[in-house]
């Protein structure tokens, strides 16, 4: 089977852009990715595009060129971009296309996501009575995890401070003001134990990734980044997930992140010990802590010591969310995972500027998690 490699990445800044449609942000990101790859839009043979807010993201061809390219819309909640990159890579691996693109774009209104519970197959009373909030799940999951594994409130604050600090070094990030752990711990509680500055916010942005066959990469770049594996898993019965009015007792099983992670490592022939830099879904500071373990990067409870030692900082032995993560960048759902891929590609190329991790990183890891219990993992290498 042919291998897919990344030859171009493009990122529209994440944040608030009044008056600028999501499709325009997406078109900007695509043009940046095409320029980075040194190819033109008419050369793209196929692609996958994801969005939550834009019903027809494939309308982007009206801005890029009506070439007749098959551009398929995809959506898997917060794992949407994981799906887009996986399918764009698969189209090359199976020989369908030689040159593909993955695109993500979104433009969310301010404030917490609000929707009718029926979109998740849940009765109306769940929303009417104030239970239909994804932030509840994140508060409850980390509260239980802290109880079981000895994680402190200070560790939550250190994670947020690290990500805001990394975002300050990222000119395309949204939240670029560094905050100290003390300032974070002084912010109001939103959902105990999580505070205002421990949550990411929905925002706007776009990203695009150009891929080609590995055996043709020399035509475009000296530093292709290999797509070693992609995996997506949904929740299994008994897993504790977003938007679950109940779940079975005595059947608690591992999260879809554990399932997706194991599948991705196995397919890549790469283990957690080989990962040089990781981008993990940090919807909140607690999620980053839990996802370190769920992705095999440490044991449950080890985070307390690792984070205190600075292991997940840019100079540490396992840098996590070097571009500021979701905390620093916010979450335009369709684009978020491609923002992660963009950052890993910069790190593996050695072009991440002041946030470049030391040494010669060879393996990068990205992870998404979202409602109603879906995870996507992508493993990249030089």
Nearer to another protein, 180 or 244 (CB): 244
Among 246, 273, 353, 360, interactor with another protein by CB under 8 A: 246
Q: How far is the CB of 240 from another protein (least distance, A)?
A: 8
Nearer to another protein, 19 or 188 (CB): 188
Q: How far is the CB of 317 from another protein (least distance, A)?
A: 31
DSSP 8-class letter at 239: -
Using the contact rule CB under 8 A, the part of the chain among 34-42, 116-124, 205-213, 269-277 near another protein is 116-124
3-state secondary structure 20-35: CCHHHHHHHHHHHHHH
Record the tokens describing residue 55, joined without a space.
């019903």
- Kindly determine how many residues on this chain lie close enough to bind another protein according to the rule CB under 8 A: 40
Among 42, 67, 95, 131, interactor with another protein by CB under 8 A: 131
Q: How far is the CB of 302 from another protein (least distance, A)?
A: 21
Residue 186 near another protein by CB under 8 A: no
Q: Are strands 277-279 and 71-74 parallel, antiparallel or unpaired?
A: unpaired
Using the contact rule CB under 8 A, the part of the chain among 139-147, 256-264, 327-335, 340-348 near another protein is 139-147
Q: Which of residues 187-206 bind another protein (CB under 8 A)?
A: 188-194
User: What's the CA gap between 190 and 53, in Å, rounded?
Assistant: 25
Nearer to another protein, 142 or 297 (CB): 142
Backbone angles phi, psi at 229, to 5 degrees: -170, 155
Residue 115 near another protein by CB under 8 A: yes
Q: Which of residues 55-114 bind another protein (CB under 8 A)?
A: 111-114
Q: How far is the CB of 53 from another protein (least distance, A)?
A: 16
In the beta sheet, which residues pair with residue 194?
191
155 within 8 A of 307, measured Cβ to Cβ: yes
User: What's the CA gap between 45 and 7, in Å, rounded?
Assistant: 15
Residue 120 near another protein by CB under 8 A: no
Q: Find tokens 């797509």 and name the residue.
A: 227
3-state secondary structure 278-294: EECCCCEHHHHHHHHHH
Q: Which residues of 211-236 are buried (b: 16+ CB within 10 A; e: fewer)?
A: bbbbeebeebbeebbbbbbbbbbbbe
Q: How far is the CB of 217 from another protein (least distance, A)?
A: 44
Among 317, 352, 312, 288, CA closest to 11: 352
Query: What is the contact surface with another protein in residues (CB under 8 A)?
Result: 111-117, 123-125, 127-133, 136, 139-141, 143-144, 147, 188-194, 237, 240, 244-250
């Amino acid at each position: 089977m042919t291998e897919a490699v990344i030859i171009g990445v493009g990122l529209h800044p994440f944040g608030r852009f009044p008056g600028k449609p999501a499709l325009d942000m997406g078109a900007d990101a695509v043009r940046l990715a095409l320029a980075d790859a040194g190819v033109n839009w008419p050369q793209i043979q196929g692609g996958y595009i994801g969005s939550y807010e834009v019903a027809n993201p494939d309308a982007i061809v009206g801005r890029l060129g009506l070439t007749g390219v098959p551009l398929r819309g995809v959506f898997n909640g917060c794992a949407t971009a994981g799906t887009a990159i996986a399918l764009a890579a698969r189209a090359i691996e199976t020989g369908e296309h030689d040159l593909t693109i993955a695109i993500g774009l979104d433009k969310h209104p301010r404030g917490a996501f609000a929707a009718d519970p029926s979109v998740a197959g849940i009765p109306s009373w769940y929303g009417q009575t104030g239970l239909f909030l994804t932030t509840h799940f994140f508060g409850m999951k980390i509260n239980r995890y802290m109880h079981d594994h000895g994680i402190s409130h200070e560790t939550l604050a250190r994670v947020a401070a690290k990500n805001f600090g990394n975002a300050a070094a990222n000119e395309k990030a949204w939240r670029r003001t560094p905050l100290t752990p003390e300032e974070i711990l002084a912010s109001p509680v939103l959902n105990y134990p999580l505070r205002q500055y421990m949550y990411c916010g929905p925002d706007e942005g776009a990203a695009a990734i150009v891929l080609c066959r590995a055996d043709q990469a020399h035509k475009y770049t000296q530093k292709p980044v290999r797509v070693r594996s992609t995996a997506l898993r949904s929740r299994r019965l008994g897993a504790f997930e977003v938007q679950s009015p109940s779940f079975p007792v005595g059947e608690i099983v591992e999260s879809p992140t554990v399932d997706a992670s194991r599948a991705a490592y196995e397919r890549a022939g790469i283990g957690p010990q080989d990962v040089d830099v990781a981008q993990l879904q940090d919807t909140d500071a607690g999620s980053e802590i839990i996802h370190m373990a769920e992705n095999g990067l440490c044991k449950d409870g080890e985070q307390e010591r690792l984070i205190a030692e600075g292991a997940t900082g840019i100079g540490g032995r396992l840098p996590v969310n070097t571009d500021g993560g979701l905390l620093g960048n916010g979450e335009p759902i369709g684009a978020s995972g491609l923002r992660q891929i963009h950052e890993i590609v910069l790190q593996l190329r050695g072009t991440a500027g002041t946030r470049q991790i030391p040494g010669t990183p060879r393996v990068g890891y990205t992870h998404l998690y979202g409602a109603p219990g879906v995870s996507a993992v992508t493993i990249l290498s030089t």
